[in-house]
Amino acid sequence: MAEGKFIVFEGIDGAGTTTQSKLAAKWLRERSLDVVETAEPTDGAVGRTVRRALSGEMPGREGREVEPELFALLFAADRLDHMNRTVIPALERGQWGISDRCYLSSFAYQSVGCDLGWVRELNRHVRRADLTLLLDLDAEAAYERLVGAREKHEVFETADNMAVVRANYMRIAAALEQEGEKIVRVDASPPAAAVAEEVRRAISDWTPC
């Protein structure tokens, strides 16, 4: 049986990776594809620790900063668990995997505080995405969306940090394309339905389905 395809949605907080990955999965199912939807951080054991660290509630670390290196290691460990537990078995069964974030998130976010080469090394064995949809949104606009949506913000959700992460996404995506990865940038500023239309077009152009 042919291996399934692995599609990943990436972008800064507020760009709409969760909304768009769900809409794309629904659309692919309507086209009779068997789709497994996942997200990072995962809901597994390491992923739960990541979420607590993100909200400043890691046991024993309350009120004390979690080091950028520890975040990088936790995200990489969660990813290994995600891939081995869910994504790889699904692809081997011929299903398609749609993930809300994967290794490019670590490259863009963790390289703010850690050496990018080291972060890439931690993720060296991760299966690469067949298609990455990079939802691009101005950091100010993304921050406004978050302010409207939530009362409490996670550690990486500040306007300054988001601008740096956005620039990292663009720079690192270009480098990955040079290495042969397929990455499509999608303007995430229009309403969700219009962005979804662009996403469908990008997927159709990449493979007829």
**Least distance from ligand TYD to the Cβ atom of residue 156, Å:** 4
Q: Looking at 28-36, 88-96, 104-112, 139-147, which segment touches ligand TYD (CB under 6 A)?
A: 104-112
**Least distance from ligand TYD to the Cβ atom of residue 209, Å:** 25
Site track 144-183 with ligand TYD (rule: CB under 6 A), x = hit: ----------x-xx--------------------------
Q: CA distances (Å), 148 to each of 33, 107, 153, 158, 188, in order?
A: 35, 27, 11, 14, 17
Residue list 39-78, contact with ligand TYD (CB under 6 A): 40-41, 54, 75
**Least distance from ligand TYD to the Cβ atom of residue 143, Å:** 12
Site track 2-41 with ligand TYD (rule: CB under 6 A), x = hit: -----------x----x---------------------xx
Residue 109 contacts ligand TYD per CB under 6 A: yes
To 5 degrees, how large is the angle CA 206–CA 13–CA 125?
Answer: 60
Selected from 21, 95, 106, 111, the binder of ligand TYD by CB under 6 A is 106
Residue 105 contacts ligand TYD per CB under 6 A: yes
Q: Report which residue type is found at 121.
A: E
Binding site for ligand TYD (CB under 6 A): 13, 18, 40-41, 54, 75, 101, 105-106, 109-110, 154, 156-157
